[in-house]
Structure 1
Amino acid sequence: MTHRHAQGTHAPELRAAAAHLGRRRFLTGTAAAAALAFAVNLPSFGVASAAELDAGKITEDPFTLGVASGDPRPDSVLLWTRLAPRPYEADTGLPANRVSVRWELAHDAGFTRIARRGRADAHPELHHSVHVAVEGLDSGRVYYYRFRAGTWLSPVGRTRTAPARDARITALTFAAVSCQAYHDGYFTAYKHLAEEDLDVVFHLGDYLYEYAVTAVGGARGYTDRRLPAHYNRETVTLEDYRLRYALYKSDPDLRAAHAAHPFVVTWDDHETENNYAGGAPENDVPPEEFLLRRASAYRAYWENQPLRAPQRPTGPDMRLYRRLDFGRLARFDILDTRQYRSDQAYGDGWQVPGPESEDASRTMTGEAQERWLLDGWKNSTATWNVVPQQVTFARRRNLPTEGFKLSMDAWDGYPASRQRLLDGVEAAGIENFMVLTGDVHTGNAYDLKKDWNDPESRTLGTEIVATSIASGKDGADKPADWATLMAANAHMKFYNGRRGYVTVALGDAEARADFRTVSAVTTPGAPVTTVASFVTEAGRPGLEPA
């Protein structure tokens, strides 16, 4: 693929984009005007610029997309919903008026003991999304929440605050998920995830895909319904991305998982466009056009996720990397490996590594995020330091012989950037380092080695790769390249190609990862099975079968 580079300040490029309004479909008509307006910060977030709609006049259920919570802190949690009586329509069945929404947080599912309650405005500028940061809560506690608009009551969600930062907790269980292509199958894994006993869920990217979805839902093969024609095209405008989120969030299993657990989300590429790198698009289009698309994608992402105010985008920029502490047991440093990375070397894809990919100046995270991460490790007192991020961190050869190729989109295409992080792990004395990864539609477990060429070299940490929820369709326990990759990578301890998720139980003495898969996603209702389990002891990095 061909990439164009677009670095530095974006304001001049965004202003210049007005000159290109006739060049592509997404730069025509009112969609282009709207994209350009918010890309330069108009309208502003949270400004009551529209008259209020009497919520009593809403005649259809506005809570079709469910509820969600996210980014739990010891004294706070973020609650989310979006009003959409007709989710498959661009205006969602609501006029361009703000709507007053009431919310409640309770100690019990019956809402007999209310902990907090209040009101929030759902603004048309934000597609009637609601983000409520509830403060002053007890740490390490389960709460229940719901919203009300007029006479309509939302489903009940269950959430949990983080433990106090100095709490000596001895157990924490979380799940990692990624890659949920609607057109590749049902989100059955989420049905099972909703029934797990978890403290939090980490979504590692590809929450949606920009690709067209046919009237029958692609591989879902609907026989009793038809999706509107506007889904059968690639997402490029703000309206496109908003409608695509509505389609995904209409899935009952996804809604159930959000209602059951707080989510911590980060994106990969498909929330915007396949394999983009910073300001460089996948295809050969002018950078300013891509930045308008990126602004649209980032705006819709924030509107549809349980994210706090500091994550609100400014045009095509959005700070998504952030840090969450769970007592003294775990620190989670959530990364963004898309927005700040150097362009992929050698035109992307699987390539023989060489001077271009091994250039020391290349970065996966950008300088500011890298420094933030390294400084955080220096100050960390957590037993486990976990990094939820997107693409494979460990080296991954495609052949066991010389002439092997590496993925230029993964950390293998940025080895100097990876080495700076591994050096930082050693310099900070981090004993229990764990990377969480998505992207590749397979479940994998790796030891992270000091010397990738020497299987006996020191192990610096572990990497747990969550397979996809649906992307890749049904998959197989042993993909076609299973034997080759296992032989080529001695530090790869596990490789499975079914759909599902991974749960990780952290304790003072060890961490245990359970890989959970379903037998099929092209047909609904498949059971879930634990196909493998691994443990790594505290103070002794390295994965062993449980």
Structure 2
Amino acid sequence: MSHVSQHTPELRAAAQYLGRRRFLTVAGAATALAFSVNLPTAGTAAAAELDARKITADPFTLGVASGDPLPESVLLWTRLAPKPYETGGGLPAQRVDVRWEIAHDESFRRIARRGTATAHPEFNHSVHVEVEHLAPGRVYYYRFRVGGWISETGRTRTAPAASRHVSELTLAAVSCQAYHDGYFTAYKHLAEDDVDVVFHLGDYLYEYAVNSVGGARKYTDRVLPDVFNRETVTLEDYRLRYALYKSDPDLRAAHAAHPFVVTWDDHETENNYADDISENDDPPAEFLLRRASAYRAYWENQPLRRPQLPTGPDARLYRRLVWGRLAQFDILDTRQYRSNQAYGDGSHVPGPESDDPARTITGATQERWLIDGWRRSRALWNVVPQQVTFSERRLDLNAEAKLSMDAWDGYRASRERVLAGVKAARVENLMVLTGDVHVGYAFDIKDDFADPASRTLGTEIVATSITSGKDGAERPANWDTYTRANPHLRFYNGRRGYVTVGLGESEARADFKTVPAVTVPGAPITTAASFVTQVGDQGLRPA
């Protein structure tokens, strides 16, 4: 996909060149991986079926999950791995039949649907079941069976019918869970929280090495294998790293308790990559091979539907969900299609390179899809779950302040086009959900960030990290600078945790929930601050 949006002969020629280069590198990576678009057929797998009675250890060590709820459907996930820290999860390269059932009650007396799915070795024995013909707006319970083994029970729900008037919805937003930076205590609390759906905004795992004691976890009762003490590069590296993360009991509990809607940022592949450009400027064909491995492992280990299955190094992750007439969710991918960061990927004063109107953070196709979706939206709230800080964030008090070149500040033309789309579509209740920065922020999205008195077009709620950055601080060292430099910044907290957002017919309420530490297990959770924004009168106010 070309990122060029202008129409001069020079730019058209550049677009054609980039398109040819893109085709060659994508095709090369796809060929090297030999990844098929479709699941293996019954014929090709018929000679390689594993007798489930030969599975002598619990195959459900990575838990269960559900995701992307639709009015009459939900996606159920699990992955068979009796030995999760071994290549292949401890199973031979044979297919396994997995029975599933979904019920109206936790005791499974009233079965709604049941069936059998195949766990293929080509997909690392992961299972993705798209259960259809369910009732809208209902809670369901589900589980899997293999031989004599039964998984834990998961709880999920379908979305309300698209035409239904819904009075309320409570979501949670989470991001950035570096295993080596601490315990997933926030997920334990989230599993016990009363929310309808969880949005994961990126950095589900990190590519960095995890040592034998689990980094900041400092295990004394276990030793992690050496396979984790290296950066993830190959498909097997990424698969094993997901096994490490998903074996965490608190993360398993959160997935079992709530349906998740997931999108990636950079660390699921490599820090600060941009399209086919790696952090260390590796040859594009080489990096796309790595990206294909990362994308493949991501799909295998997340509750994602068939349309999100990658083809080589490409995957259509941006998608739209609705919750009755109350909310439309436009889930973005701001990593796969972006122009390379200007002036490097750090902080810099904006200039001609960063403000080039041809630059994009979403790609032209996704940008049109987003704005067209707003034009057709019938929802009261239009919510955009995405990765990096959308609002202007001045990093110092200078007249020409530095901005983050990796966030939307490094792609100001992209942001201007998107905000122009908000105004053209007359979106009155816009909310952007963001991760990435390992702190909690609450922003008013201004029509003109240079003018605090300009119209507020929406609000941005930034979820802090689950663990990344270790314990953090309530007021980081730059707290005073940031709050003075950004008058539209209504809240800033540097602890770990998550945020819940209650969407209602008259207002939305955001509760920032934090834990005092993640480098020791079992920390309590508190609500650090709460804010509301009114329907038809955007702008955050203390609750």
TM-score range, shorter chain: over 0.9
1:338 and 2:353 matched: no
Match of 1:261 among 258, 261, 274: 258
AA aligned opposite 1:154: S
AA aligned opposite 1:242: R
d(CA) in 2 for partners of 1:88 and 1:228? 7
The 3 A distance-change label for structure 1 pair 385 and 44 is: closer
Tell me by how many angstroms 1:402 deviates: 1.5
2:19 matched to which residue of 1?
8
Match of 1:291 among 288, 302, 312: 288
Q: Deviations over 1:153-207 (max 9, x none)?
A: 0000000100010111100000000000000000000000001111100000000
Contact residue 37 and residue 43 of structure 1 kept, 8 A: no
Using structure 1 for the length normalisation, give the TM-score: 0.94
Tell me by how many angstroms 1:7 deviates: 4.6
Contact residue 37 and residue 310 of structure 2 kept, 8 A: no
Q: Deviations over 1:457-498 (max 9, x none)?
A: 100000000000000000000000000000000000000000
2:366 partner SS: helix
Contact residue 36 and residue 311 of structure 2 kept, 8 A: no
1:373 partner SS: helix
Aligned 1:44-443 pairs, distance under 5 A: 44-48=38-42, 49-50=44-45, 51-443=48-440
The 3 A distance-change label for structure 1 pair 42 and 537 is: closer
2:343 partner SS: helix
Give the root-mean-square deviation of aligned CA atoms.
1.3
AA aligned opposite 2:68: D
Contact residue 400 and residue 489 of structure 1 kept, 8 A: no
AA aligned opposite 2:346: G
d(CA) in 1 for partners of 2:217 and 2:519? 6
AA aligned opposite 1:465: V
The unaligned stretches of length 5 or more in structure 1 are 18-34
Tell me by how many angstroms 1:57 deviates: 1.2
Moved more, 8-17 or 282-291: 8-17
d(CA) in 2 for partners of 1:16 and 1:95? 29
Tell me by how many angstroms 1:352 deviates: 0.8
1:502 partner SS: strand
AA aligned opposite 2:319: R
d(CA) in 2 for partners of 1:275 and 1:419? 22
Contact residue 439 and residue 495 of structure 2 kept, 8 A: yes
Contact residue 172 and residue 507 of structure 1 kept, 8 A: yes
The 3 A distance-change label for structure 1 pair 101 and 438 is: same
Contact residue 7 and residue 279 of structure 1 kept, 8 A: no
1:460 and 2:457 matched: yes
d(CA) in 1 for partners of 2:60 and 2:81? 6
Tell me by how many angstroms 1:136 deviates: 0.5
d(CA) in 1 for partners of 2:353 and 2:315? 28
d(CA) in 2 for partners of 1:62 and 1:143? 23
Q: Deviations over 1:293-317 (max 9, x none)?
A: 0000000000000000000000000
2:291 partner SS: helix
Contact residue 446 and residue 494 of structure 1 kept, 8 A: yes
Contact residue 26 and residue 313 of structure 2 kept, 8 A: no
Aligned 1:463-474 pairs, distance under 5 A: 463-474=460-471
AA aligned opposite 2:24: P
2:266 partner SS: coil
1:414 partner SS: helix
Match of 1:475 among 472, 476, 492: 472
d(CA) in 1 for partners of 2:38 and 2:305? 16
Tell me by how many angstroms 1:124 deviates: 0.2
d(CA) in 1 for partners of 2:244 and 2:156? 24
d(CA) in 1 for partners of 2:27 and 2:356? 33
Tell me by how many angstroms 1:91 deviates: 1.7
Tell me by how many angstroms 1:36 deviates: 5.0
d(CA) in 1 for partners of 2:371 and 2:37? 36
d(CA) in 2 for partners of 1:401 and 1:219? 36
d(CA) in 2 for partners of 1:95 and 1:36? 24
1:345 partner SS: coil
1:53 partner SS: coil
Q: Deviations over 1:226-283 (max 9, x none)?
A: 0000100000000000000000000000000000000000000000000000111100
d(CA) in 2 for partners of 1:471 and 1:52? 41
- Aligned identity (percent) is 73
AA aligned opposite 1:423: A
1:32 matched to which residue of 2?
none
Tell me by how many angstroms 1:404 deviates: 1.3
Q: Deviations over 1:319-375 (max 9, x none)?
A: 000000000000000000000000000112000110000011100100110000000
1:189 partner SS: helix
Tell me by how many angstroms 1:44 deviates: 4.8
Using structure 2 for the length normalisation, give the TM-score: 0.95
Q: Deviations over 1:67-87 (max 9, x none)?
A: 000000000000000000000
The unaligned stretches of length 5 or more in structure 2 are 1-14
2:8 matched to which residue of 1?
none
Tell me by how many angstroms 1:13 deviates: 2.1
The 3 A distance-change label for structure 1 pair 456 and 394 is: same
AA aligned opposite 2:410: G
d(CA) in 2 for partners of 1:55 and 1:123? 13
AA aligned opposite 2:161: A
1:545 and 2:542 matched: yes
Contact residue 137 and residue 158 of structure 2 kept, 8 A: yes
1:41 and 2:52 matched: no
AA aligned opposite 2:359: R
1:26 matched to which residue of 2?
none
Tell me by how many angstroms 1:41 deviates: 3.0
Q: Deviations over 1:20-73 (max 9, x none)?
A: xxxxxxxxxxxxxxx8543x4348533343311111111010000000000000
d(CA) in 1 for partners of 2:27 and 2:129? 33
d(CA) in 2 for partners of 1:532 and 1:43? 46
Contact residue 271 and residue 279 of structure 2 kept, 8 A: yes
Tell me by how many angstroms 1:422 deviates: 0.5
d(CA) in 2 for partners of 1:60 and 1:181? 28
Q: Deviations over 1:357-396 (max 9, x none)?
A: 0011100100110000000000001000000000000000
Contact residue 235 and residue 241 of structure 1 kept, 8 A: yes
AA aligned opposite 2:181: D
Tell me by how many angstroms 1:11 deviates: 4.5
1:52 partner SS: coil
d(CA) in 1 for partners of 2:475 and 2:18? 41
Contact residue 37 and residue 309 of structure 2 kept, 8 A: no
